[in-house]
Amino acid sequence: MNDAVNIPFDNTYLRVASTLFANQLPTPVKQPGLIRINSALAEMLYINPKQLESEEGVAVLAGNKIPQGAEPIATAYAGHQFGGFNPRLGDGRAILLGEVIGQDGHRYDLQLKGSGITPYSRNGDGRSPLGPVLREYILSEFMAALGVRTTRSLAAVTTGETVIREQALPGAVLTRVARSHIRVGTFQYFAARDDLESLTKLADHVIARHYPEAAQANNPYLSMLAQVIQAQAELIAHWQSIGFIHGVMNTDNMLISGETVDYGPCAFMENYHPSTVFSSIDHQGRYAYSNQPAIGHWNLACLAQALLPLVDKDEAAAIPLIQPILDAYGDQYTAAYQQRMCAKLGIAQANHETDELITDLLVLMAKHSVDFTLGFRVLADWLDWDGNAESAKAINSAGLYPLPAEFQPWVLRWQQLLDAGQGKHTTDIGIAMLANNPVFIARNHQVEQAIQAGNVGDFAPFHKLVDVLAKPFEFDAGNKGYADPAMAEQRVTQTFCGT
């Protein structure tokens, strides 16, 4: 068998402008070892997963060997971090190997995260502890299973080396896949330098790669901005509908492609409360759950500011062109959020009455500290199901999480609304609800347990959690423990960025 790793690279970012990156080889590691290959994703990218599992494949995934066609670089970008602008960030511990075109016709970056020092490391070691690698693999693949636009994880490998943080930890490298790694902060980097030539080339590349229809618009850069804003509004609405808290929504962590990136201090909310914060570095609650939609708007305003000289050479004339597009974000977010929340409740059409119903439900959930995921999931138990007990038993999770009795008046309003708008609350509505409400989520204590086991060389909990979360909407009584909320002694109240 030929174990040579064949990856069909077709790199375009390097040809945009040399100012966008620095050429940088990964730093080899001592003794790479395979943790997991995402075989389905590899095949989608026309990469043979068996080759990745080989000794040479693991060497490629660890950065010890550069496959043919790869042109490793570290990309440059800036960013607002917790509101303060840093004009020079860049890939401090990640190296982009190159781009491939998947079976879906889209172009993807392959990036090694934790692969050594780069010109942007800012006195860091360029390495990643094992924990953040396992966390990102679990979370990003779970988000993909939910249908959320996200970066993906192709592989995770150990390095055989120790990484020093607050303590000595095993090291690892993640192979991350993204539609691109171009960020709001990438545009800010060149805008802050008044490098109009690089800014223009970057924008043209984004249009060609992500928003080609914008090229036909009267003002392509304005059209590109409008499409980025729409994509972000829809993404953050999706986050809110599943209780996802990103934790570090800096402008360098907002991808132009509209994908979720950076699974450092992120977490899924369990007991619902809008002010929930997990990130250990978010001392003021800037990136709390309830603040995420507004922070998305703030970040997009930073992008709009960077694009001013492209929209019109006279920046004063560009502002009234940009402002209505930026202002549209609120309505776009609200529409996307209402649509997702209505789908969770089996409601076909959002209106003022459904808005009130959703608001009142969330107030109840906060008052009674209801588990956000299971609270929505078990509402299907309150439907009639047309007397189809066998169907309900086969697909539902009845008895998994009883709601407080105080919910009954709200449930009656909800059922009456279903009756009035869609006829009898039927089995079909129940099935639709179960398809929009996961029963399994990446619960913080389970992720932490997988990390702690991995730190001592036991990856079985990691593999099991990844496998369970691959089918988040399908209740399996044999895996019921993965649906259970954390007990008091298991609760994880803080998450960490891992850098």
Active site residues: 252
Instruction: Read off the tokens for 496.
Output: 């960490």
Bridge partners for 158 per DSSP = 33, 172
CB 410, CB 361: distance < 8 Å? yes
Task: Measure Cα distances from 40 to 143, 152, 157 in Å.
Answer: 15, 11, 17
CB 57, CB 154: distance < 8 Å? no
- Which residue reads 């970066």 in tokens? 151
Neighbours of 37 (CB within 10 A): 23
CB 91, CB 122: distance < 8 Å? no
Q: How far apart, in whole angstroms, are the C-alpha atoms of residue 344 and residue 351?
A: 15
Closest CA to 256 of 293, 302, 216, 215: 302
Bridge partners for 23 per DSSP = 73
Instruction: Read off the tokens for 198.
Output: 């690089």
Closest CA to 177 of 118, 257, 242, 121: 257
Residues 6+ apart with CB under 8 A from 216: none
Task: Measure Cα distances from 264 to 132, 133, 137, 246 in Å.
Answer: 7, 9, 11, 8
